[in-house]
């Protein structure tokens, strides 16, 4: 019986986790919808603590920071005109920090994110935010297409319970864990907590 290995290990193409001092911090969809809206996430508070720690350290180091904001449905999910579409105050951008607005889960799709990242000059990205199985997953997978090295902070991401195809429910914790395993296979270095990068 062979021991399971990631594609990174099998191909020798993995990379060490990034350092905040030499990377761009990419915060995806840290918005009010996930706290009080229809898409509220059971793990949001704990993840938000990690995101605020990453933000504070990045700001102290003078690191590049990019906030991605999803423009949702007027009067609906992530309403761009109402409170549910706003940045969570704990992770809100400061003046001068870059904001990229998107309409699809993948933050590169239909946006100038790649051009913004290129202008910052960092190959390494540190990614956190919401939701693990959707915008985090699609964006992290796309970073590989653009040649970036991606590090994901496990505890700084969260998702929600989802219905399964056989009529059951996969818990947010199990969905998050499965997605992190998939990303660590071939798309990103995954670290447990923000403290690993400071």
Alpha carbon of residue 45 to chain centroid: 15
Distance of alpha carbon 143 from alpha carbon 163, whole angstroms: 28
Please report, in tens digits, the pLDDT of each residue of the chain (198 residues total). Answer: 679 999 999 999 999 999 999 999 999 999 999 999 999 999 999 999 999 999 999 999 999 999 999 999 999 999 999 999 999 999 999 999 999 999 999 999 999 999 999 999 999 999 999 999 999 999 999 999 999 999 999 999 999 999 999 999 999 999 999 999 999 999 999 999 999 986
Looking at the DSSP bridge assignments, the partners of residue 152 are 127, 190
As a whole number of angstroms, the distance between CA 145 and CA 143 comes to 5
Is-above-0.95 flag for pTM?
Answer: yes
In this structure, how many other beta carbons lie within 10 angstroms of the beta carbon of residue 100?
Answer: 19
Supply the DSSP symbol for 91. G
CA distance 96 to 88: 17
SS3 178: helix
Q: What was the pLDDT predicted at 2? A: 74
How confident is the model at residue 1, as a pLDDT?
63
pLDDT at 79: 96
Task: Report the distance separating Cα 72 and Cα 104, nearest Å.
Answer: 9
Domains of the chain: 7-197 (3.40.50.850)
List, as one string, the DSSP characters of 144-165: HHTT-EEEEEEEEEE---EE-T
Helix (H, G, I), strand (E, B) or coil at 63: coil
With CA atoms as reference, report the closest residue to 136 among 181, 179, 84: 179
DSSP per-residue string spanning 111-138: SSHHHHHHHHT-SEEEEEEE-IIIIIHH
Are the CB atoms for 111 and 9 separated by under 8 Å?
A: no
């Amino acid at each position: 019986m062979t021991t399971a290995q990631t594609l990174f290990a099998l191909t020798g193409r993995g990379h060490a986790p990034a350092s905040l001092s030499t990377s761009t911090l990419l915060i995806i969809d840290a918005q009010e919808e996930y706290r009080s809206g229809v898409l509220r996430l059971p793990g949001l508070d704990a993840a938000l603590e990690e995101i605020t720690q990453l933000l504070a350290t990045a700001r102290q180091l003078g690191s590049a920071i990019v906030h991605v904001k999803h423009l949702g449905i007027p009067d609906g999910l992530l309403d761009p005109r109402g409170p549910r579409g706003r940045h969570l105050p704990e992770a809100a951008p400061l003046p001068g920090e870059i904001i990229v607005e998107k309409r699809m889960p993948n933050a590169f799709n239909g946006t100038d994110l790649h051009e913004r990242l290129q202008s910052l000059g960092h190959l390494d990205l540190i990614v956190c935010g919401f939701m693990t199985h959707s915008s985090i997953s699609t964006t992290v997978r796309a970073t590989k297409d653009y040649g970036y090295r991606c590090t994901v902070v496990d505890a700084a991401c969260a998702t929600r319970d989802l219905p399964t195809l056989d009529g059951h429910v996969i818990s947010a914790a199990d969905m998050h864990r499965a997605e992190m395993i998939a990303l660590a296979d071939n798309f990103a270095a995954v670290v447990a907590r923000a403290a690993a990068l400071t």
